[in-house]
Structure 1
Amino acid sequence: MTIENEGLIKETPLATALSERYLAYALSTIMSRSLPDVRDGLKPVHRRLVFAMRQLKLDPKSGFKKCARIVGDVIGKYHPHGDASVYEALVRLAQEFAVRYPLVEGQGNFGSIDGDNAAAMRYTESRMTMIAQALLEGIDENAVDFRDTYDGEEEEPIVLPGAFPNLLANGSSGIAVGMATNIPPHNAGELYAAAMHLIKKPDASTKDLLQFVQGPDFPTGGIIVENQDIILQTYEVGRGSLRLRARWEVEQGRFGTWQVVVTEIPYQVQKSKLIEQIASLMEQKKLNLLADIRDESTDEVRLVIEPKNRTIEPEVLMESLFKATALEGRFSYNMNVLDSKAVPKVMGLKDILRAWLDHRYIVLVRRSQHRLSALERRLEILQGLLAVYLNLDEVIRIIREEDEVKTVLMQTFKLTDLQSESILNMRLRSLRRLEEDAIRHEYDQLSAEREALNILLNDESLCWKKISQELKEGNKQFGTGPLGQRRTLISGAPKAVDVVEVLEEVEREPLTVILSQKGWIKALKGHGLDLSLQKFKEGDQLQMSLECQSNDRLCVFGSDGKSFNIKVSDLPRGRGDGQPIRLLVDLSNDATILALFVLEDNGKYLLVSDGGRGFVTEGNNLSTDRKIGKQILNLKDDEKAIYCLYIKGDYVAIANTIGKFLIFPLDQIPELKKGAGVILQKLGKGKPKIVTIFSAEEGLTISEKSRKRNFEDLKDFVGNRAGVGKKSPNWLRG
């Protein structure tokens, strides 16, 4: 036998083949793996887990079964994927810190909020919760459609009846191809109330619904700190983000001491990693208001935070932690779901509730029709049985004497095939008089129920009334009691707290920075130190020192015209030799350090090259976060920078190597951000020897050993910028 297409090879462009296959993969990921269904809020793996547990009769009142058995049934019958991923999905459905309303009740180690993994599936057991059972309610009553499983041997539901608002109550997250979803959990009681309001007023706006649904209700609690306008906009469009903080309280100690106790941490934050992060930041000296953190948690979270001193306000301490750690985070909304036609769509709060209610309406109609069909069948049988009781003798005769009993019965009493079959299958003991009364009573009851169902199916308003009643019962069961209490507090945006000012006070510590001639730098505690007692490496000695505070920022200005910044807090301390400054800044090998000073952003500085050029620049121009520095003074190949002077005065005095001295007003020098500058003095073949800035009111002092010269004594040397100057006086030559 030959195959028609055997050996057939079709040429297809690679781009076309790739696009077709990738599109098939993308659709499979979107529809069968990553996005939840808006009707029951479940992804396929979760739906199959719940359905498989039902098939194993693991209802809330039954015993537990090994998770390995459940996972085996799921991957063997419904979900052709790895057992590890299926077990992870099962574990998450049982974790009270991961899902707001668990669908699985676990027995054994199912992990912890610290990030510990669950025990292997052969050690753990589970069964469904009441909520999972509610999602399945009516599945045997033709409430939803079924489809063949991947191997065609079983059937699985396309969607669950979903008597519980699972999508919003438990939330969902997932990453598909080209799209993702992230929906937070909510309070079931609030969702039921909003749904009932939407039934009464179908035109209700999102703002109206937010009177019932306050916002997310995370299983780990916490506080939402966001304006109502932002919350409203997020729920209207289905996208946005809300700020979530840990919940904390102050515990007073003895002698005026206090500590902060964190009782709830943000959703999806692992407690152990949070503590590691805070400890790491403390080591890096980035949490200077914090003295210590301890984990005293049991079944409940209890993180104890101690301040550096009791004068700090608790609000300021926590504000610094919120800014730097995972104690505050953002939950990003992307309410992307599959609608009833399996089409991905971003929905707002009203759209999701509307889709769930429409699904509940369809489920009610289908269940009612299924019940009505069953009633019709039963009533038909009962009618036949009643006919038998009126003619028992004739029926017995036909059964005893006739060859075609069923046919004769149908012709004699005008029975249907179903009725005659039921009569023939009836036991002799059922011919008692009491049985006839029971059948008549059952017939009357079922007839009344049939009439009620016909009325219900023909009146849409009655259907919605019935759904409202179901919602009230669901709210009573799941929206009240300890499980239904709101855990996450909704608060407005917090007041601004000035942490910087407090940090400066706490961090401020007097230090003296020492730089040796060979480039070793360190910081010593205190001011007014006797630096003659300091020891250096052999052949090295003190080059410059600087008194500052621990929270200051230093500027290093090199002879290559570059500015570098160093945080004093980053400098090594103690009795050691310190650290080479070239490890902190990328100063070129042929450059030397001209100046080391505390940078003032609003201050002004005069930069001078040995070519006699210079300009004034603001302190913020010398600021840089780059280790390679920032080129400020542009130099020619044979030039170098020789001065970086803090400006405190109104005149500039310059003396050069060829014996010329010039004084001119400082305002004649332009202010630039960077450049080569302007000529300060005509040098000829000379070089600048002395450059200094002084005030005409205070006079000029060249060095500590020379005496002060009044401005009246210097008038002969005053000229304009770029002048030659006059012959240097004797006191300057020395």
Structure 2
Amino acid sequence: MFEDNVENEQNSDNNNVIHIDGMYQNWFLDYASYVILERAVPSIFDGLKPVQRRILHSMKELDDGRFNKVANIIGSTMQYHPHGDAAIGDAIVNLGQKELLIETQGNWGDIRTGDSAAAPRYIEARLSKFALEVVFNPKTTEWQLSYDGRKKEPVNLPVKFPLLLSQGVEGIAVGLATKIMPHNVKELIKASIDVLKGKKVHLLPDFPTGGLADCSNYNSGLKGGKIRNRAKIESPDNKTLLIKEIPYTCTTSSLIDSIIKANDQGKIKIKKVIDNTAKDVEIEIQLASGQSPDVTIAALYAFTDCEVSISPNACVIIGDKPVFIGVEDILKSDTDFTVKLLETELKIRESELQEKILFSSLEKIFIENRIYRDIEECETWEAVIETIDKGLEPFKPSFYREITEDDIIRLTEIKIKRISKFDTFKADELLRTLLEELKEVRHHLIHIIEYAIDYFQNLLKKYGKDHERLTELTTFDTIQASKVAANNAKLYVNKKEGFVGYNLKKEEGVEEVMDCSDIDDIIVFRNTGEYQVTKIGDKKFVGKNIIHVEVYVKGDERKVFNAIYLDGATGITRVKRFQVPSFTRDKEYNVTKGSPKSKVTYFSSNPNGEAEVVGVSLSPNCSAKVKSFEYDFADLEIKGRGSQGNILTKYPVRRVTLKREGVSTLPAIDLWYDEAVGLLNKDENGKYLGKFKDEDRIIIFYEDGEYELTNFEITNRYDAKKVVLIEKFLPYKAISAVHYDTNNRQYYIKRFHIETSTMNKKFKFINESNASRLLVVTTQMSPLVELTYTNGRKREKYQVNLKEFVEVKGWKALGNKIPHDRVTDAKILSQDDPVDTTDIKVKKEDNSDDDANDGHDSLRLF
């Protein structure tokens, strides 16, 4: 019996055991759910996190049209939000800095500089007109008890606008994160209208800090997408850069820190960085001597926070669950939600109007039919109600619902003064107005989509002008860091011992090769014919008996190596020209056929495919009749790195010496200008500029009346928004321009030749005043231009051949005055002319590769 009792007690204890692993699992899930639903992730319906919703609700309760201290708003919000004043204060500042729902007063900080807002007791806020119009309506709000059960708060605010997408949101929960980009208010309203019209929409972000954005891989804001956001950088001169707008998520301080760090690491070379930010962002960068502004801009994007990559991750709460959904689907959901809210408001208004019409009709019947007199003799309340009900009996079929006792009681509450002053005409007018409004409401309900479109169009009209796009959408080129890194080191080599690097001690046998950066690749050739491409280091062993080393540029189609080598297997000396456009890092390649005892006897590296002439001396003991001769590499075709080359001689070679430097044997390269990004390319993107040889140049004309000559390096960067004409520079072509001179307040036409030769310097060919402006510039031989001018109240057009209008004069000449002083527009009507040699000042000597098909205004000369 005792053993049975012990066994029963043990079984009882086992039934009451709570395993700790299960307990923690439940608690963790509860905590995770709370953080996701109540703190980190917004609702898709109003786009707000709970703290934001409670702040706005509290501000609405406090709203009297005047500003309230933020400290008071925080105190009011704490009635609904169980998380302390600091969290609420930060959330209010975040809402206020978005400048949409809250009007602010005082120091609210600056998202561009990272400055914090003043203490809550010093700053004030109130709801904006936009918020009051689109966010609140107690009649359509679903309510719930606050956390302590004392008050009611909204489950969701009835927001009639895609607020979530306009403000953006970022939050980290337990095992879940959301990052929705801000979008432009004006564009969202237009997109909602398009959704209602059944059109397809495509949304792209708009950041409050402005800048440039490449959203080609946005992926509707879903995970896996990427946005590249760049600062807007200007180059007022060759020694200064100005950062006018910064990337989203950056501040001016963090951006400057990243620039200083890149300079300290030698990635860029600058003198000074000055933060001139006040009302507008302006970071001034003073360049070191000899640094190219274009290359430095590219380096800033490559090595600093002037370019940041943002990974969106759109996640929202739908039906108490986190859901990953694209921004277009969020917009559609919010637009549908707006339509439902508008429909609900109309139904509520319909019901209110029906009740008003009902009671106005009852009141009219009660007074006009003198029913109020029939109750004078009633002795009980029940008799009064019954008498009035009987008097209304003939009219009941015309009402939309049954008449209740409450309706009759309201009639008994009408004051005698109102009855005595009752005006039938006014009562009829009121009923007519109510009926017309009811008819209008019912029309809107039937045509709810058209009504919603009108609602959004009204929002666009009222608020669209205040929300123009800040971020410029474009596409970026991929900048190779190795191409834009500043040369922050020197490349040294110890050819005999086989060491290369930028940290070799200057001792016997160590030679300085060239400038380099610490992220470069180098290519090393040894006298046995082996060569490899490897990463540069401070001191690196790459094999003894080095004959050549240099910084390697991947994909360089102009670099050509010339070599003469002895084939160890046959004793034949061969000659070859080859390129190394691609490689596998640290893999051994061979100039020779790889036979033992093979040896390179002559080697040269040629950046532009030059072909020199060498002198070859044979061994005096060989049987060759001619023991000394010259060889021109230009006679040899350039082939791949694996080719064995041509036979130079079968006799032993004693010595090879350089006789004459060569010239390039490579054909001219085709170049295009990508107007979207302001870059040159060889990928056929944008406007075709023509074929370019070493001596060729590019000319650029800017909207402010300046021109500039540059080389045709692929790394060149041009301000695409300011460029009005870019093409290959042909000195014989006259420049024709229509411009306004502010000093004389007249329009002029001028023609001139480019007389300057300084590279990378802008020259102004119209009046220096900012009020002067350039209307047209062209290099066509005989351009026909249409001028639009005002004559009184009429607008008239006038065509002029610029070549016939004015002769070619100096580039600083004013030109000939246009007979019309109110020119409003000018456009070129003509296409490229046939060859006209009357204006040719410089004639090319070599026409073998002229530019008849350059695709711009260049011409072939015969």
State how far apart, in whole Å, the 1-side matches of 2:424 and 2:81 are.
Answer: 51
Within 5 Å, which residues of 2 pair with 1:666-681?
Answer: none
Is 1:245 the counterpart of 2:227? The answer is no
Of 75, 91, 100, the residue aligned with 1:72 is: 75
Is 1:32 the counterpart of 2:53? The answer is no
| CA pair 237-116 structure 1, distance change in 2 beyond 3 A | closer
Instruction: Return the structure number with greater strand share.
Output: 2
State how far apart, in whole Å, the 2-side matches of 1:693 and 1:429 are.
Answer: 125
| CA pair 501-69 structure 1, distance change in 2 beyond 3 A | closer
The residue that corresponds to 1:153 in the other structure is 150
Is 1:224 the counterpart of 2:192? The answer is no
| CA pair 426-260 structure 1, distance change in 2 beyond 3 A | same
Of 104, 110, 121, the residue aligned with 2:102 is: 104
Is 1:85 the counterpart of 2:113? The answer is no
Report if the CA contact (8 A) 2:268-2:296 is conserved.
no
Residue 543 of structure 1, CA deviation = 6.5
**For residue 83 of structure 1, what is the amino acid of its counterpart?**
D
**For residue 192 of structure 1, what is the amino acid of its counterpart?**
I
Of 454, 473, 476, the residue aligned with 1:493 is: 476
Within 5 Å, which residues of 2 pair with 1:449-528?
Answer: 449-457=437-445, 459=446, 462-480=447-465, 483-494=466-477, 500=482, 503=485, 507=488
Within 5 Å, which residues of 2 pair with 1:220-299?
Answer: 220-227=209-216, 230-231=217-218, 234-235=219-220, 239-252=224-237, 257-288=238-269, 290-299=270-279
Query: What CA deviation, in whole Å up to 9, does each residue of 1:8-52 have, x standing for no partner?
Result: 994222221111111111111222211112222111111111111
Residue 546 of structure 1, CA deviation = 2.8
| CA pair 421-600 structure 1, distance change in 2 beyond 3 A | closer
Residue 410 of structure 1, CA deviation = 3.6
Give 3-state SS (helix, strand or coil) of 2:207's partner. Answer: coil
Report if the CA contact (8 A) 1:316-1:497 is conserved.
no
The residue that corresponds to 1:318 in the other structure is 297
Residue 424 of structure 1, CA deviation = 2.1
**For residue 81 of structure 1, what is the amino acid of its counterpart?**
H
Report if the CA contact (8 A) 2:296-2:484 is conserved.
no
State how far apart, in whole Å, the 1-side matches of 2:491 and 2:391 are.
Answer: 113
State how far apart, in whole Å, the 1-side matches of 2:24 and 2:619 are.
Answer: 85
Residue 244 of structure 1, CA deviation = 0.8
RMSD (CA atoms): 3.8
Give 3-state SS (helix, strand or coil) of 2:544's partner. Answer: strand
| CA pair 667-647 structure 1, distance change in 2 beyond 3 A | farther
**For residue 298 of structure 2, what is the amino acid of its counterpart?**
E
The residue that corresponds to 1:548 in the other structure is 512
Give 3-state SS (helix, strand or coil) of 2:170's partner. Answer: strand
Give 3-state SS (helix, strand or coil) of 2:115's partner. Answer: coil
Q: TM-score, normalised by structure 1?
A: 0.66
Give 3-state SS (helix, strand or coil) of 2:524's partner. Answer: coil
Residue 226 of structure 1, CA deviation = 4.6
Give 3-state SS (helix, strand or coil) of 1:177's partner. Answer: coil
Report if the CA contact (8 A) 2:267-2:488 is conserved.
no
The residue that corresponds to 2:385 in the other structure is 407
The residue that corresponds to 1:645 in the other structure is 544
Residue 269 of structure 1, CA deviation = 0.6
The residue that corresponds to 2:643 in the other structure is none
Residue 430 of structure 1, CA deviation = 0.6
Report if the CA contact (8 A) 2:247-2:308 is conserved.
yes
Is 1:395 the counterpart of 2:372? The answer is yes
| CA pair 386-600 structure 1, distance change in 2 beyond 3 A | closer
Query: What CA deviation, in whole Å up to 9, does each residue of 1:254-298 have, x standing for no partner?
Result: xxx44221110011211112112212322232323x232211111
State how far apart, in whole Å, the 2-side matches of 1:694 and 1:488 are.
Answer: 60
Of 298, 310, 317, the residue aligned with 1:331 is: 310
The residue that corresponds to 2:281 in the other structure is 301
**For residue 106 of structure 1, what is the amino acid of its counterpart?**
T
The residue that corresponds to 1:728 in the other structure is none
Residue 199 of structure 1, CA deviation = 1.2
Residue 86 of structure 1, CA deviation = 1.0
**For residue 220 of structure 2, what is the amino acid of its counterpart?**
Y
State how far apart, in whole Å, the 2-side matches of 1:673 and 1:489 are.
Answer: 42
Report if the CA contact (8 A) 2:189-2:457 is conserved.
yes
| CA pair 648-631 structure 1, distance change in 2 beyond 3 A | closer
State how far apart, in whole Å, the 1-side matches of 2:246 and 2:474 are.
Answer: 16
The residue that corresponds to 1:352 in the other structure is 330
Query: What CA deviation, in whole Å up to 9, does each residue of 1:223-249 have, x standing for no partner?
Result: 11354xx34xx1285651111111122
| CA pair 42-599 structure 1, distance change in 2 beyond 3 A | closer
The residue that corresponds to 2:793 in the other structure is none
| CA pair 604-352 structure 1, distance change in 2 beyond 3 A | same
Give 3-state SS (helix, strand or coil) of 1:146's partner. Answer: strand
**For residue 314 of structure 1, what is the amino acid of its counterpart?**
P
Residue 377 of structure 1, CA deviation = 2.5
Within 5 Å, which residues of 2 pair with 1:429-440?
Answer: 429-440=417-428
Give the aligned length.
536
The residue that corresponds to 1:578 in the other structure is none
**For residue 240 of structure 2, what is the amino acid of its counterpart?**
Q
Q: Which runs of 5+ in 1 are unaligned?
A: 1-6, 514-520, 525-541, 554-566, 570-597, 607-615, 633-643, 650-664, 675-691, 698-709, 714-734
The residue that corresponds to 1:662 in the other structure is none
Give 3-state SS (helix, strand or coil) of 1:326's partner. Answer: coil
Q: Which runs of 5+ in 2 are unaligned?
A: 1-12, 393-402, 495-501, 549-565, 570-584, 588-596, 603-617, 622-862
Report if the CA contact (8 A) 2:490-2:516 is conserved.
no
State how far apart, in whole Å, the 2-side matches of 1:298 and 1:274 are.
Answer: 16
**For residue 48 of structure 1, what is the amino acid of its counterpart?**
R
Give 3-state SS (helix, strand or coil) of 1:439's partner. Answer: helix
Report if the CA contact (8 A) 2:266-2:488 is conserved.
no
**For residue 145 of structure 1, what is the amino acid of its counterpart?**
E
Report if the CA contact (8 A) 1:402-1:408 is conserved.
no
State how far apart, in whole Å, the 2-side matches of 1:306 and 1:475 are.
Answer: 43
| CA pair 226-354 structure 1, distance change in 2 beyond 3 A | closer
Q: TM-score, normalised by structure 2?
A: 0.56
| CA pair 145-695 structure 1, distance change in 2 beyond 3 A | closer
**For residue 379 of structure 2, what is the amino acid of its counterpart?**
E
The residue that corresponds to 1:602 in the other structure is 524
**For residue 232 of structure 2, what is the amino acid of its counterpart?**
R
State how far apart, in whole Å, the 2-side matches of 1:53 and 1:9 are.
Answer: 53
State how far apart, in whole Å, the 2-side matches of 1:447 and 1:54 are.
Answer: 33
State how far apart, in whole Å, the 2-side matches of 1:370 and 1:466 are.
Answer: 16
| CA pair 42-239 structure 1, distance change in 2 beyond 3 A | farther
Report if the CA contact (8 A) 1:398-1:408 is conserved.
no
State how far apart, in whole Å, the 1-side matches of 2:423 and 2:106 are.
Answer: 52
Give 3-state SS (helix, strand or coil) of 2:78's partner. Answer: helix
State how far apart, in whole Å, the 1-side matches of 2:546 and 2:619 are.
Answer: 18
State how far apart, in whole Å, the 2-side matches of 1:696 and 1:435 are.
Answer: 120
The residue that corresponds to 1:127 in the other structure is 126
Report if the CA contact (8 A) 2:42-2:316 is conserved.
yes
Give 3-state SS (helix, strand or coil) of 1:251's partner. Answer: strand
State how far apart, in whole Å, the 1-side matches of 2:87 and 2:310 are.
Answer: 24
Residue 106 of structure 1, CA deviation = 1.7
